Amino acid sequence: MALSKEQIAQRIAQELKDGYYVNLGIGIPTLVANYVPEGIEVVLQSENGMLGMGPFPEKGQADADMINAGKQTVTVLPGGSFFDSSASFAMIRGGHVDLTVLGAFEVTDKGDIASWKIPGKMVKGMGGAMDLVASAKNIVVAMQHCSKDGESKLLKECTLPLTGVACVKKIVSDLAVLEVTDDGFLLLERAPGVSVEDIRKVTAGRLIVNGEIPEMKF
Amino acid sequence: MNKVVKNASEALYGIRDGMTLMVGGFGLSGLPENTIAALASSEVKGLTCISNNAGVDDFGLGYLLKNRQIKKMISSYVGENAEFERQLLNGELEVELIPQGTLAERCRAGGAGIPAFFVPAGYGTEVADGKEVRVFNGKPHLLEHALVADFAIVKAWKGDTHGNLIYRHTANNFNQAMAMAGKITIAEVEELVPAGELDPNQIHTPGIFVQRIFQGKDYEKRIERLTER
């Protein structure tokens, strides 16, 4: 069975380590905050200018001056701080953020990513994604393995305009966990009930399967 | 020293067609609401606006887009502004999309007298078109140039008559860097106090960067995506 968005977030949360400063992108990545494992403390960075981002506010407590990068109202946790956009991207560009999780339209077996524009149809803009992918030490992509029409989104070459080149380290899709290596996508884990053959069929980029591939554990 | 002006219309004295403006804010947070409203009811047009976003259809810079007062936007995120996306896809509006951190740093550099600098963001993408590439520490970087504006328009929480500014929570965002990069910087504040009342330890934008300041009124402080537990 393919993973739900929540399960993708839950699996990515297993990548978190105590003391990490983490930037979560819009969409599925935002959900990762709900699954931080017991006993681990991470500090969430929101690139519009906050460290120590907390959960959504209680009903009636929302503050227009306290939003995340997805423009949602949020709260700040004890020990948090606010700063301007230039300082925020100094943290990102300077390599101070330990882990970046973001979504993608397409990724390649070389770690290229496309996530910001569908020519002639949709232009959202890159926001902070190009800065993040160019500088983050560790980038995990949360995405669906296939498009709605069943076309693979894990490719040899991106068909859409790039956000960054050779930057993605790991992918958690609804079907698999894969690591980007010099030789292509190394299959690490399968979604429960999904076979290696199922994954092979919908992975257009080079796929490396070494021995038995375990199922993801939650 | 008198930097205090009566209101937004007075603050905009000298603004002309075709000028370049920086406008602070991220989404709808930290927007100079009063000054944008005054611009929208003015005749000024052909503007180039440097702003992370362009508001939503009926708030923030969305007003000016709808009025066709903007010739060109320099932004990082179009987001959910349907009119912006429509004008962009139809080629009715010139748009330069820039990575967000590069945009912030180009504004800061403009105010700091740094004409250009190298960053890795955008290498290998269409953002790199026509830009000089140099390798530092084994990694390719793009040459990016500073941005300056005829007017920078920012919003702060508190300000004093010397132009010192304090922002609140995440409403700082682009305001601090843009305040540095205006030939004339207009600051609108929720609370304007006499010089000496703000704690000098807490100032985000020192008054040297601000030429005109006024107390705004009727702040709507609209929320784009209300999310609660």
pLDDT value of position A126: 94
Confidence of residue B81 (pLDDT cuts 50, 70, 90): confident
Tell me if chain A has a CB within 8 Å of the CB of B81: no
Q: Provide the ipTM.
A: 0.96
Confidence of residue A26 (pLDDT cuts 50, 70, 90): confident
Q: What percent of chain A is predicted at pLDDT more than 70?
A: 100
A200-205 contacts at long range (C-beta below 8 A, 24 or more positions apart):
A202/A145, A202/A146, A202/A150, A202/A152, A202/A154, A202/A175, A203/A145, A203/A152, A203/A154, A203/A176, A204/A152, A204/A154, A204/A155, A204/A156, A205/A107, A205/A108, A205/A109, A205/A152, A205/A154, A205/A155, A205/A156
**CB neighbour list of residue A190: distance below 8 Å, 6 or more residues apart:** A175, A176, A196, A199, A213, A214, A215, A216
Alpha-carbon span A123 to B179, nearest angstrom: 28
Q: What percent of chain A is predicted at pLDDT more than 90?
A: 91
Alpha-carbon span B32 to B135, nearest angstrom: 39
Nearest chain B residue to A71, by CA: B225
Q: Which of A6, A15, A41, A47 is catalytic?
A: A47
Tell me the shortest Cα–Cα distance from A109 to chain B, in angstroms.
16
DSSP state for residue B130 in the 8-state scheme? T
- The answer to whether position B129 is within a domain reads no
Average pLDDT, integer, range A44-61: 95
Average pLDDT, integer, range B67-76: 95
Average pLDDT, integer, range A4-33: 94
- The answer to whether position B123 is within a domain reads no
Helix (H, G, I), strand (E, B) or coil at B104: helix
Q: Phi and psi (nearest 5°) for A124?
A: -95, -25
pLDDT value of position B220: 93
Contact A21, A42 (CB under 8 A): yes
- A52 has pLDDT over 90: yes
Task: For residue B29, give the CATH number of its domain.
Answer: 3.40.1080.10
pLDDT value of position B25: 97
pLDDT value of position A123: 80
- A62 has pLDDT over 80: yes
Are A46 and B168 an interchain contact pair (Cβ–Cβ within 8 Å)?
no
Alpha-carbon span B61 to B65, nearest angstrom: 6
- B91 has pLDDT over 90: no
Question: CA gyration radius for chain B?
Answer: 18
Count up the domains in chain B and report the number: 1
- B4 has pLDDT over 90: yes
Residues in A 32-51 with any Cβ partner in B closer than 8 A: 46-50
Domain housing B204: 8-115+148-215
- B153 has pLDDT over 90: yes
Q: Sort A212 into a burial class: Cβ within 10 Å, 0-12 / 13-18 / 19+.
A: exposed
pLDDT value of position A9: 96
pLDDT (tens digit per residue) in A134-188: 998 899 999 999 999 999 999 999 999 999 999 999 999 999 999 999 999 999 9
Confidence of residue B55 (pLDDT cuts 50, 70, 90): confident
Are A86 and B176 an interchain contact pair (Cβ–Cβ within 8 Å)?
yes
Tell me if chain A has a CB within 8 Å of the CB of B102: yes
pLDDT value of position B198: 98
Tell me if chain A has a CB within 8 Å of the CB of B63: no
**CB neighbour list of residue A148: distance below 8 Å, 6 or more residues apart:** none
Are A85 and B173 an interchain contact pair (Cβ–Cβ within 8 Å)?
yes
- A27 has pLDDT over 90: no
pLDDT value of position B86: 85
Residues of chain A in contact with residue B100, where contact means CB-CB under 8 angstroms, are 47, 85, 89, 126-128, 130-131
When CB atoms are compared, the residue of A82, A86, A128 closest to B170 is A82
CA-CA distances (angstroms) from residue A55 to A10, A39, A172, B3, B28?
16, 18, 23, 40, 20
Average pLDDT, integer, range B65-91: 88
Edge to edge, the sheet with strand A113-114 lists: A113-114, A106-108, A154-155
Residues in B 180-219 with any Cβ partner in A closer than 8 A: 204
3-state per-residue secondary structure call for chain A: CCCCHHHHHHHHHCCCCCCCEEEECCCHHHHHHHHCCCCCCCEEEECCCEEEECCCCCCCCCCCCCECCCCEECCEEEEEEECCHHHHHHHHHCCCCCEEEEECCEEECCCCEECCEECCCEECCCCCHHHHHHHCCCEEEEECCECCCCCECEECCCCCCCCECCCCCEEEECCEEEEEECCEEEEEEECCCCCHHHHHHCCCCCEECCCCCCECCC
- The answer to whether position B108 is within a domain reads yes
- The answer to whether position B95 is within a domain reads yes
- The answer to whether position B189 is within a domain reads yes
- The answer to whether position B229 is within a domain reads no
Please state, as a whole number, how many other Cβ atoms lie within 10 Å of the Cβ of residue B91.
8
Confidence of residue B114 (pLDDT cuts 50, 70, 90): very high
Nearest chain B residue to A81, by CA: B169
Residues of chain B in contact with residue A131, where contact means CB-CB under 8 angstroms, are 99-102, 119, 121
pLDDT value of position A176: 98
Please state, as a whole number, how many other Cβ atoms lie within 10 Å of the Cβ of residue A211.
5
Tell me the shortest Cα–Cα distance from A160 to chain B, in angstroms.
10
Average pLDDT, integer, range A45-54: 96
Confidence of residue B208 (pLDDT cuts 50, 70, 90): very high
- The answer to whether position B2 is within a domain reads no
Residues in A 179-218 with any Cβ partner in B closer than 8 A: none
Average pLDDT, integer, range A88-99: 96
Nearest chain B residue to A129, by CA: B99
- B79 has pLDDT over 80: no
Residues in B 42-61 with any Cβ partner in A closer than 8 A: 52
Q: In 3D, which of A11, A6, A8, A74 has the Cα closest to residue A45?
A: A74
CB pairs under 8 A between A and B: 183
When CB atoms are compared, the residue of B26, B101, B229 closest to A92 is B101
Contact B70, A54 (CB under 8 A): no
- The answer to whether position B143 is within a domain reads no
Pick B81 or B18 by higher pLDDT: B18
Q: Based on the residue annotation, tell me whether A47 is a catalytic residue of this protein.
A: yes
Residues in A 85-144 with any Cβ partner in B closer than 8 A: 85-86, 88-89, 92-93, 112, 120-131, 134-135
Contact B42, B16 (CB under 8 A): no
Question: CA gyration radius for chain A?
Answer: 17
pLDDT value of position B90: 87
- Measured at the CA of B213, the angle between CA B7 and CA B46, to 5 degrees, comes to 70
Contact B127, B99 (CB under 8 A): yes
To which residue do tokens 């370049």 refer?
Answer: B20
